[in-house]
């Protein structure tokens, strides 16, 4: 999708204009949703300007950061899964996030069971009754390496989530900024944006009107 948008941008910027057209706020906004900065390029008559270049470069930087974080997270996950299988004798097939968390917390399933009994966590005792949910780290070094890799993967997952959210926010802010620039160019109509907190359903709703 990003490649298609770039090809479309090149086609738009290289094609000779048939006639001068007044940019619309709506057109500027939705172009920015596709590629931040494109809306400014459109609103400014083919000139990127400082704002357009800033939004575009920020988008590229965050996209590269999110891609890098996801690649590194995948590598860390693959490494700690291999470590769990080879050095802890764990059966990782079909296991959820809780299982891998417990491998990073307890050195063996026996230790987990002992802690559960001492804490009278009766509902947790049956978790390791199945042999496929049992494990034991061969060395302390293996256990610590696994835990470090898993913590790294969680940190990278959070970073990726933040960057993806920032990419969305960058598009919305770029869209509003480009739409204002288009309105200053002479378009008629109104531009409004509202962030609504819904008490019935947790979350935020973002509405834009032209």
Domain residue spans in the chain?
A: 2-12+23-89+136-209
Reduced to 3 states (helix: H, G, I; strand: E, B; else coil), residue 70 is helix
Q: Quote the pLDDT of residue 19.
A: 40
- Cβ burial of 94 (10 Å; 0-12, 13-18, 19+) is exposed
Q: Quote the pLDDT of residue 116.
A: 94
Q: Are 90 and 103 in contact (CB under 8 A)?
A: yes
Distance CA 44, CA 31 (A): 13
Residue 33's Cβ-side half-sphere holds a number of Cα atoms within 13 Å equal to 9
What are the start-end ranges of the E strands in the chain?
Answer: 192-197, 204-209
- Cβ burial of 34 (10 Å; 0-12, 13-18, 19+) is middle
Which DSSP letter does residue 22 get? P
Distance CA 194, CA 28 (A): 18
Neighbours of 192 (CB within 10 A): 9
Q: Quote the pLDDT of residue 185.
A: 63
Q: Quote the pLDDT of residue 210.
A: 57
Question: What pTM does this model have?
Answer: 0.72
Q: Quote the pLDDT of residue 14.
A: 38
Reduced to 3 states (helix: H, G, I; strand: E, B; else coil), residue 36 is coil
CB within 8 Å of 15: residues ≥ 6 apart: none
Tens of pLDDT along the chain (210 residues) come to 454 444 444 444 434 444 456 889 999 999 999 999 999 999 998 898 899 999 999 999 999 999 999 999 999 999 999 999 999 999 999 999 999 999 999 999 999 999 999 999 988 999 999 999 999 999 999 999 999 999 999 999 999 999 999 999 999 999 999 999 988 765 444 445 454 444 455 444 555 555
């Amino acid at each position: 999708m990003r490649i298609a948008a770039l090809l479309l941008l090149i086609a738009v910027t290289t094609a000779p204009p048939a006639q001068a057209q007044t940019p619309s706020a709506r057109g500027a906004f939705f172009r920015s949703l596709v590629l931040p900065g494109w809306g400014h390029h459109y609103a400014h008559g083919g000139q990127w300007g400082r704002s357009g270049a800033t939004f575009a470069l920020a988008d590229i930087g965050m996209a590269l950061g999110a891609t890098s974080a996801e690649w590194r997270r995948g590598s860390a996950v693959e490494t700690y899964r291999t470590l769990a299988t080879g050095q802890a004798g764990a059966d990782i097939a079909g296991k959820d996030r809780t299982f891998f968390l417990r491998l990073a917390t307890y050195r063996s399933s026996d230790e987990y069971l002992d802690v559960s009994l001492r804490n009278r966590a009766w509902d947790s005792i049956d978790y390791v009754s199945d042999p496929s949910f049992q494990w034991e780290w061969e060395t302390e070094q293996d256990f610590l390496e696994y835990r470090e890799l898993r913590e790294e993967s969680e940190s990278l997952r959070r970073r990726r989530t933040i960057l993806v959210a920032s990419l969305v926010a960058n598009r919305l802010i770029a869209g509003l900024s480009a739409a204002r620039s288009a309105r200053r160019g002479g378009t008629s109509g109104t531009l409004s944006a509202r962030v609504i907190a819904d008490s019935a359903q947790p979350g935020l709703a973002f509405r834009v009107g032209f």
